[in-house]
Each structure stands twice: as C-alpha cells, then as structure tokens.
Amino acid sequence: MSATQTRGVKHFIGPFHALPLHMDQQTLHKLFVEQLKDLYDAEQQLVRALPKLAEAASSPELEEALSSHLEETKTHVDRLEQVFELAGEKATGKKCKGMQGLLAEGDDAVKEEDEGELRDLAIIAGGQRVEHYEISAYGTAKAIAEQLGLDDAVELLAQTEEEESTADGKLTEVAETIYQTIDEESDLGESEPEEADGEGKASAKIPARKTAGSAAANATTKRKRAAK
C-alpha cells in the first residue's frame, strides 16, 4: 500500500478512538447527534418497559433491581438532555430499532414462561442484553464527544456508562442467587426418602423440589399482594 493509499485509514483501538484524517468536525458533530438521538429514544423505551418487567418478576431481589434501574434510567434521560444542550442541539429522539427488538424479545420470553424461576432468568437474560447494548452505545458516544472536545459531555456519558455496567453486574448477582436456590431445591428433592405405606411397601413421594418451589412461589405471590 502506497503512502497516498494509507491516508485516511484508521486503526480501531476502541469505538471511534482513531478517526479518518479527512473527517471534519462538522461531520463528526452530526454523527454525535445521531448517536444521542438513538440513545434518547432507547432510554425512553426502557422507561416504559421496566415497570412491566418488574411486575412480572417473582424474585424480590430482581423486582428491586429493575425498579432501582428504572429510577436510574430516568436520570439517564435527563443527562442526555444536558448533553444535547452542551452540543448546541435540541433533545429529540430517533426510533432505536435495536432497543425495540431487544425489548420485544424480552416481552416474548416473559409471556412464554410461567411465573417463577425460569421467567426470572428469562427477564435477566433480556435485561443483560439491553445493558450490553447500552454500554456499547454510551462508550461510542463518549469517544466521539472526546474527539469533539466536549469534556462536560464526556463526563456525563461516562457516568451513565458506569451505571449501566453496575446494573449489568447486579443482574448477574440476582441470577446467581436464583441458580443457587434451584440447586438447593434439587439437592433436597434427591435426598428425600420414600415413605412406606401400611403394608410396608415404599410409595412414591412428590419431589421436594416441586413442593419447595411451589411454597416459594406462593410466598412471593403473598408478598407482592401485600405490597400492593
């Protein structure tokens, strides 16, 4: 490759960390605004979806994690409005098809699973896909803001990026708790002895895991009804 051919070639260390030599600030600013519009709509979609996911959760820990992130997400919307202002633009959204698809998949998973551990794990799986999408999107927007010299915007975007990462970690912790509960119920079911009938013959017993799972589900339902 000649020296002429190498002009404008960029080497990706991270999202937009190195930019084409021919890209001017005006073009980059336009790209930045497009990223903000996408994020703005994505966060607003999430504000509408999180209450439904929290309501569908059986685990109190998961419900709390989703409700807490709802409040964070509202703050993220406010921060994006500040970033728009710093960029000299009006805060407007552009339909984020990526978030729309992720939330639709999550909604389908909730409808397909009965209330309980499997539904909770499906909610977590969908939630973590959403978090990873947002972490990537905020990382890109932050990198472009750095190139534009918008230091205050960089700080705001970095703060949200960190909170998205923390939310992802919290969902992992909740999932691990659910897996542990499943393992404990499974061990209990395997160790349960058979009962003898009146003639001394062993009779089949309902697996302890099913009983324990039903009790946990009933307890969760009672807690949620009491809270309401």
Q: Which of 77, 76, 80, 88 is CA-nearest to residue 29?
A: 88
Give the H/E segment covering residue 196. strand 195-196
Look up the pTM and report it: 0.72
d(CA 158, CA 150): 12
pLDDT of res. 14: 46
d(CA 32, CA 114): 42
Residue tagged 């080497």 (tokens) = 11
d(CA 62, CA 19): 41
pLDDT of res. 217: 43
Residues 6+ apart with CB under 8 A from 142: 154, 157, 158, 161
* Contact of 181 with 220, CB cutoff 8 Å: no
pLDDT of res. 211: 34
Read off the DSSP letter of residue 85.
H
pLDDT of res. 57: 94
Q: Which of 178, 66, 196 is CA-nearest to residue 131?
A: 66
d(CA 39, CA 159): 14
pLDDT of res. 139: 97
The dihedral of CA 163, 73, 137, 49: what is its sign?
A: positive
pLDDT of res. 41: 98
Distances (CA, A) of 87 to 13, 73, 141, 226: 25, 21, 12, 47
* pLDDT tens by residue, the chain, 228 residues: 444 443 333 333 344 444 554 568 999 999 999 999 999 999 999 999 999 999 999 999 999 999 999 999 999 999 999 999 999 999 999 999 999 999 999 888 888 888 889 999 999 999 999 999 999 999 999 999 999 999 999 999 999 999 999 999 999 999 999 999 888 877 766 655 555 455 544 444 334 333 334 434 444 444 444 444
Encoded tokens for 63: 């419900």
